């Protein structure tokens, strides 16, 4: 039913949950986990503590849910430029727009979260990755292998993750998006020589 008094209707279901998680994410970004409380999120979301506690009994569960929700809301695309080099450069530069804030959050704002829960950045990242869906970099590698640009036998799991691990490392150290020159260096000088087919 549409309200007749000009005020927004009561939020329910997924709409309410999204609003709560958006508020929690904003609270983490503004104040970090050290000052993160259920009360503060409830006030920001314009709701009661009980509404939050019914869904997330502890603040660490709420924080982790908020981070996962924020990742899910980012529209993920896998570039198809026609070359492995072009695809990886395009994807890493896109991460500057979509992922650099997450990297800063994981390294700067969540120190108290790791101390309180015993988790590490790697643990949190793995739990987020498990929740992600949609296109993945494996599509880029599969296309490149079909074009003969990489040797699948040389693409070990560690090497497959290497461009993104290097990207995340720089972001977490500098708290700044990577320059295009740094992205090109990761792809051209470090990654591609490791996966190109060896001469017969």
Which of these CATH numbers, 1.20.140, 1.10.3470, 1.25.10, 1.10.357, describes 76-195? 1.10.357
Residues 19 and 50: beta-carbon distance below 8 Å: no
Helices 38-45 and 13-31, axial angle in degrees (round to 10): 120
User: pTM value?
Assistant: 0.72
Task: Give the pLDDT of residue 129.
Answer: 64
The three-point CA angle 81-102-124 to 5° equals 110
Angle at CA of residue 192, ends 186 and 196, nearest 5°: 175
Write down the domain spans for the chain.
Answer: 13-70, 76-195
pLDDT score at 77:
78
pLDDT for the residue 114 = 85
Listed as ranges, residues in the chain with pLDDT below 50 are 1-8, 133-134
Instruction: Give tens-digit pLDDT for 86-103.
Output: 999 999 998 887 777 777
13-70 CATH fold: Arc Repressor Mutant, subunit A (1.10.10)
DSSP-derived secondary structure letter, 154: G
Q: pLDDT tens, 42-79?
A: 999 999 999 999 999 999 999 989 988 887 777 677 89
């Amino acid at each position: 039913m549409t309200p007749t008094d000009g005020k927004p209707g009561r939020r329910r279901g997924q709409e309410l949950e999204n609003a709560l998680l958006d508020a929690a994410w904003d609270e983490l970004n503004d104040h970090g986990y050290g000052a993160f409380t259920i009360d503060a999120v409830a006030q920001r979301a314009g709701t009661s503590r009980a509404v939050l506690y019914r869904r997330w009994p502890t603040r660490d569960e709420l924080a982790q849910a908020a981070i996962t929700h924020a990742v899910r809301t980012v529209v993920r695309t896998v570039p198809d430029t026609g070359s492995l080099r072009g695809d990886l450069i395009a994807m890493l530069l896109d991460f500057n727009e979509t992922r650099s804030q997450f990297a800063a959050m994981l390294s700067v704002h969540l120190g108290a979260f790791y101390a309180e829960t015993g988790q590490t950045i790697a643990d949190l990242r793995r739990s987020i990755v498990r929740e992600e869906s949609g296109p993945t970099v494996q599509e880029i590698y599969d296309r490149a292998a079909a074009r003969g640009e990489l040797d699948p036998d040389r693409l070990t799991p560690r090497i497959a993750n290497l461009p993104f691990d290097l990207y995340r490392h720089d972001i977490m150290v500098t708290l700044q998006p990577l320059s295009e020159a740094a992205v090109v260096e990761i792809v051209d000088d470090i990654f591609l020589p490791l996966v190109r087919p060896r001469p017969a």
